[in-house]
Amino acid sequence: MSKDPLIELKSVAKSFRRDKQDLLVLSDLALSVYSGEIVAVLGKSGSGKSTTLKVALGLTMPDSGSVKAFGRPVSAPVPKMTMVFQNFALMPWLTVLQNVELGLEAMGVSKQERRQRALKAIDIVGLDGFESAYPRELSGGMSQRVGFARAIVVEPRVLLMDEPFSSLDILTADNLRNDLLDLWQERQTHIEAMVFVTHNIEEAALMADRILIFGINPGNVIAEIKVDLSHPRREQSEAFDALVDKIYSAMTAPSSQRAMTGSTFKVIGLGYRLPKVSISELSGLMEAICFEDRPDKVELHELADDLLLGVDDLFPITETLEILRFAKVSSGKIELTPAGLHFAQGDIQEQKALFASQLTRYVPLARHIRRVLDERPDHMAKEERFLRELEDSLSEEGAEEVLATVIEWGRYAEIFAFDYKAGILSLENPD
């Protein structure tokens, strides 16, 4: 591994304009990528992972800080660096070959060389024989392979990947991951380093030499884990289990902010991006924990295994349980609070009452909606009223998602009702 980093971000800050208050997405971010390594980036949705990749690539300019690629300051899209996205927008009217050639055309490569290089890239990603197929004839996994071919045909030195496997089914993702690792180890390309964003802890543990964990609000790297297991890594080994444990612990370590306030619980504000989690997921998880042999010491990764849940599904649920103070998570373990235990063992009416009280106590948005409805003579309010407020701190889409979530929770708890057609919140059901 050479000493000079291929990518070097220092003290990077980035915010996005909002109506009233700017949203600080990245702050004091430092990150380096060296030749010869695969780096995984893990972190909650909204922690600025995609933004970080775009900054490294020169697609997005930071507000401050220094960004260097191959030793030079970045001020425009960096040649020799490409990005693979979750879903590649393939041109439906072009064949696989033409789709792969597209990027080279823009670079002014001659027709003959384009063809030659595209054929080679298609071969490398295992799509030999599909050159003249159209995107509609391809499965999800094959389309993503075309995406990879399009990225490697320009002979990048660094390959950035933003959740490249997350839209694929488990077997397809597994297959593509293994092929990518083979490619990497056999040095079939010019790629010197790969960086990928993932929600999947196992995926990070399987592939990466170094794992960076992003914290949120604002986003930056809160932990780094070096992995020295050789490839191919066996998922059924003690060393692999230990690594997964370590990642879980790092992702669930109490934040310094929480440690400072002395509270082990998360305190959230009105515009907090509530995880998109349903009541059945919350109650299902609490009940599952309650039924474990040692409900006071449940390992998150074992729980995920037992429930056949991916981590991207598990974390939003555990975060919500923490917000509602139904559970406490630390060092990779989850434990129900007395309220959580009570909920898990209660009947439907008890559960609803308990949920209502936790919701109005610990979720400011639910409390706020309830107060507005209480104060109005007709006990009604349009959802727009709350959406506009949320848009101070969330995007339009984010605001809609958060309101929909709190409405689902509030209706279940019967602290308010909602008429979907009219978009009106009220204290009583309109019918």
Residue ranges binding ligand ADP (CB under 6 A)? 16, 25, 43, 45-51, 395, 398
User: Minimum CB separation from ligand ADP for residue 403, in Å?
Assistant: 15
User: Minimum CB separation from ligand ADP for residue 327, in Å?
Assistant: 24
Q: Is residue 220 involved in binding Mg ion (CB under 5 A)? A: no
216 or 288: CB nearest ligand ADP: 216
In the region spanning residues 42 to 71, those forming contacts with Mg ion, defined by CB under 5 A, are 50
70 or 85: CB nearest ligand ADP: 85
22 or 113: CB nearest ligand ADP: 22
33 or 336: CB nearest ligand ADP: 33
330 or 395: CB nearest ligand ADP: 395
User: Minimum CB separation from ligand ADP for residue 235, in Å?
Assistant: 26
197 or 407: CB nearest ligand ADP: 197
What does 25 interact with, of ligand ADP, Mg ion, none (CB < 5 to 8 A by kind)? ligand ADP
What does 318 interact with, of Mg ion, ligand ADP, none (CB < 5 to 8 A by kind)? none
What does 51 interact with, of Mg ion, ligand ADP, none (CB < 5 to 8 A by kind)? ligand ADP
What does 16 interact with, of ligand ADP, Mg ion, none (CB < 5 to 8 A by kind)? ligand ADP
What does 332 interact with, of Mg ion, ligand ADP, none (CB < 5 to 8 A by kind)? none
50 or 220: CB nearest Mg ion: 50
The 3-class SS string of the chain reads CCCCCCEEEEEEEEEECCCCCCEEEEEEEEEEECCCCEEEEEECCCCCHHHHHHHHHCCCCCCEEEEEECCEECCCCCCCEEEECCCCCCCCCCCHHHHHHHHHHHCCCCHHHHHHHHHHHHHHCCCCCCCCCCHHHCCHHHHHHHHHHHHHCCCCCEEEEECCCCCCCHHHHHHHHHHHHHHHHCCCCCCCEEEEEECCHHHHHHHCCEEEEEECCCEEEEEEEECCCCCCCCCCCHHHHHHHHHHHHHHHCCCHHHHHHCCCCCCCCCCCCCCCCCHHHHHHHHHHHHCCCCCCCEEHHHHHHHCCCCHHHHHHHHHHHHHCCCEEEECCEEEECHHHHHHHHCCHHHHHHHHHHHHHHHCHHHHHHHHHHHHCCCCEEEHHHHHHHHCCCCCHHHHHHHHHHHHHHHHHHCCCEEECCCCEEECCCCC
- # residues contacting Mg ion (CB under 5 A): 1
User: Minimum CB separation from Mg ion for residue 134, in Å?
Assistant: 29
User: Minimum CB separation from Mg ion for residue 49, in Å?
Assistant: 5
What does 150 interact with, of ligand ADP, Mg ion, none (CB < 5 to 8 A by kind)? none
Contact residues for Mg ion, defined by CB under 5 A: 50
